[in-house]
Chain A
Amino acid sequence: MSKQAQATAASGSARSRISSKQLRETFDAYSMLLPTILGVVIFFAIPLGISLYLSFTNARIFGDTKIVGFDNYVKALTDASFWIALRNTFVFSVFTLILSTVPALIVAILLNEKLFGRSFFRMLFFIPVVASVVGVSLLWRYLLNLDFGLINYGIKLLGFEPIPWLTRPEWGLASVILIFTWKTIGYNMVIFLAGLQGVPRQLYEAASLDGASRWKQFLNITLPLLSPTTFFVLVTTLINCLQIFDVPIALGITRSGTVGPADSMLTVVPLLYREAFLNTRMGYASAIAWILFVIIMAISFVQFRVSDRWVNYE
Chain B
Amino acid sequence: MKRLVLGGNDAVAYAVKQSHVDVVSAYPITPQTSIIEKIASFIASGDMKARFIKVESEHSAMAAAMGASAAGGRVFTATSSQGLLYMHEVLHWAAGASLPIVMANANRAVAPPWSIWAEQTDSLSQRDTGWIQFYASNSQEAYDILFLSFRLAERVKNPVMVCMDGFLVTHTKEPVVIFGDEIEEFISVKETTPLLEVDRPKAIGALAFPQDYMPVKIEQHKRISSALAEFKTLSDQFEKISSRRYDPVYVYGEENADIVIVAMGSNAETAHLAVDLLNRDGIKSKLVKIVMFRPFPKDELIKAFEGAEKIAVFDRNISMGKGGITKDEIVGALGINNVVGIVCGLGGADVTENDMVKVAKDILEGKIQEDMILWGGR
| Chain B associates with chain A | no
Interface, chain B (partner A; CB < 8 A)? none
